[in-house]
């Protein structure tokens, strides 16, 4: 199963290339893979931590490192536009029943939670990382 869409994967690959984490050659080799980010990690070209740092930079967030990138649900990630991810400082992480779990820089930001909920039609649960729930916000 592909972790991210091709578009998101290519954006992350471009970011990793511009940051000097992967070479232009690696970019060209891996960008057409079914799941280029997993392929890069499997080939030990980059570490999972470097990928997390790339996501953090791309979405302008500080991300706790004790969750697994492959746990991010691509459908959840696409549920709000990237401009809103930056604005809210929250990454849609995965669905859990009727709830959307987000990794958030500020889980106490009720205004952002309400706006994300309005965009997605889901209850929002913010977490600083996968293992430590902070608070659940509802519409």
Q: Which residue segment(s) compose the domain that 44 sits in? A: 6-58
Q: pTM of the prediction?
A: 0.47
Q: Select the more confidently predicted residue: 81 or 105.
A: 81
Number of domains in the chain: 2
Residue 54 located in a structural domain: yes
Q: Do residue 78 and residue 32 come from a single domain?
A: no
Q: Do residue 79 and residue 39 come from a single domain?
A: no
In order, the DSSP letters of 2-63 are -SS-HHHHHHHHHHHHHTTSS-HHHHHHHTTSSSHHHHHHHTTSS-HHHHHHHHHHHTT---
pLDDT of residue 25: 93
Mean pLDDT on 55-67: 60
What are the tens digits of pLDDT across the range 71-89? 788 888 888 888 888 788 7
Q: Do residue 52 and residue 78 come from a single domain?
A: no
pLDDT of residue 134: 31
Q: Do residue 86 and residue 129 come from a single domain?
A: yes
């Amino acid at each position: 199963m592909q972790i991210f869409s091709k578009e998101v994967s290519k954006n992350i690959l471009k970011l990793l290339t511009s940051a000097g984490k992967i070479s232009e050659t690696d970019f060209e080799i891996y960008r057409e893979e079914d799941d280029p980010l997993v392929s890069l990690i499997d080939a030990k070209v980059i570490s999972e931590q470097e990928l997390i740092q790339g996501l953090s930079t791309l979405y302008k967030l500080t991300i706790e490192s004790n969750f697994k990138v492959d746990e991010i649900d691509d459908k959840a990630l696409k549920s709000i536009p990237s401009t809103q991810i930056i604005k809210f400082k929250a990454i849609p992480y995965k669905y859990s029943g009727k709830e959307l779990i987000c990794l958030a820089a500020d889980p106490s930001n009720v205004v952002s939670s309400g706006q994300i909920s309005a965009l997605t039609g889901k209850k929002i649960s913010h977490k600083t990382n996968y293992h430590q729930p902070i608070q659940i916000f509802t519409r």
